[in-house]
Structures are given as structure tokens and as C-alpha cells.
């Protein structure tokens, strides 16, 4: 005995509707305003979730870069190190290679700023200055020592 194919025009489940605004859609499928609103809400939720994931990944990369010292420390012209003093005071030591003070300035400033931001949450530094108003380095053999104080609260 042969089975007969279902008549799709009869209006049963899976039948194609041939009337009104829903012509060509499956009968029984709701495509009214409620369904569109739900679809839009799901779509918005997917975008929001994707934005949260991207934000989380980006912030993890930023935190890792702060912990490792970032890329900029490797690109500075002179190696420097920071030593903590009492309270907010610190010193930065660089190797003296016969260069003028302006050549050392960025390397010293970078390490001092990073120290103050990590320890006290701000980047403002008060440097020990010569009477002429410029930074006052203290020469110790082949090294220069710059003294400063973090001003952030």
C-alpha cells in the first residue's frame, strides 16, 4: 500500500498559508509584533554579551601590561632603577654615559612616574632642584642619582 503525501493546502501543521500578510509562511508560525520584539531582544543581548567579552579581554591585556612595566620601559634610551625612601620620597639611578641631562630626563621621568602611580595612585612628582631651577642629580662614580617625592594622595 502506498502512502499519500500530505496536502499542504489543508492548513495542518507545516502547511503553507496563502492569505493575507503571512502569505508564503508556515501556518502556525507566529510572526507578529511580539515575536519580532523577542528576536530584537535576543539580538541586542548577543551584542551586549559580545561587547562584555571584548571589554574583559582588553582590560586583562591592559592589566598585564601595567604589571610587566609595559612596552615603553624597553624603548627608553637609558636603563634606570627606582629605590624607595621614607614616606613618599624615592631616588632614580641611571648610568652616566657622558650624555647631557636632557638625554637622561625621559628615562628618569618614566620610572619615577610609574613608581608614583603604582604606590600612591598619581603621577605628580616634585624633584629636588638646583638653585637654577633644573633637576639636581648627584654624581656617584659612573651613576647619577635623582631624588624626588610623589605628590599624589
Q: Which of 101, 113, 112 is nearest to 139 (CA)?
A: 101
- Determine contact, residues 27/13, Cβ cutoff 8 Å: yes
Q: Identify the pLDDT of residue 37.
A: 85
Q: Identify the pLDDT of residue 137.
A: 87
DSSP, collapsed to helix, strand or coil, labels residue 93 as: strand
Q: What is the DSSP string of 2-35?
A: PPPPP-GGG--TTPBP-SGGGTTSBTT---SHHH
- Determine contact, residues 96/139, Cβ cutoff 8 Å: yes
pTM of the model: 0.52
CA 20 to CA 8: how far, in whole Å? 17
- Determine contact, residues 92/111, Cβ cutoff 8 Å: yes
Residues of the chain under the 70 pLDDT cut: 1-32, 61-75
- Determine contact, residues 151/101, Cβ cutoff 8 Å: no
- Determine contact, residues 146/128, Cβ cutoff 8 Å: yes
Q: Identify the pLDDT of residue 96.
A: 79
Q: Identify the pLDDT of residue 92.
A: 94
Q: What is the DSSP letter of 97?
A: -
Amino acid at each position: 500500500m502506498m502512502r499519500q503525501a500530505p496536502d499542504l493546502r489543508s492548513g495542518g501543521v507545516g502547511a503553507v498559508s496563502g492569505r493575507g500578510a503571512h502569505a508564503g509562511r508556515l501556518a502556525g508560525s507566529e510572526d507578529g509584533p511580539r515575536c519580532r520584539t523577542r528576536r530584537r531582544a535576543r539580538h541586542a543581548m548577543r551584542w551586549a554579551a559580545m561587547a562584555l567579552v571584548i571589554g574583559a579581554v582588553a582590560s586583562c591585556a591592559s592589566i598585564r601590561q601595567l604589571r610587566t612595566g609595559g612596552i615603553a620601559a624597553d624603548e627608553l634610551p637609558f636603563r634606570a632603577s627606582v629605590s624607595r625612601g621614607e614616606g613618599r620620597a624615592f631616588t632614580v639611578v641611571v648610568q652616566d654615559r657622558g650624555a647631557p641631562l636632557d638625554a637622561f630626563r625621559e628615562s628618569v621621568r618614566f620610572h619615577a612616574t610609574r613608581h608614583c602611580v603604582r604606590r600612591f595612585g598619581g603621577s605628580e612628582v616634585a624633584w629636588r632642584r638646583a638653585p637654577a631651577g633644573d633637576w639636581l642629580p648627584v654624581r656617584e662614580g659612573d651613576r647619577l642619582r635623582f631624588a624626588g617625592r610623589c605628590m599624589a594622595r
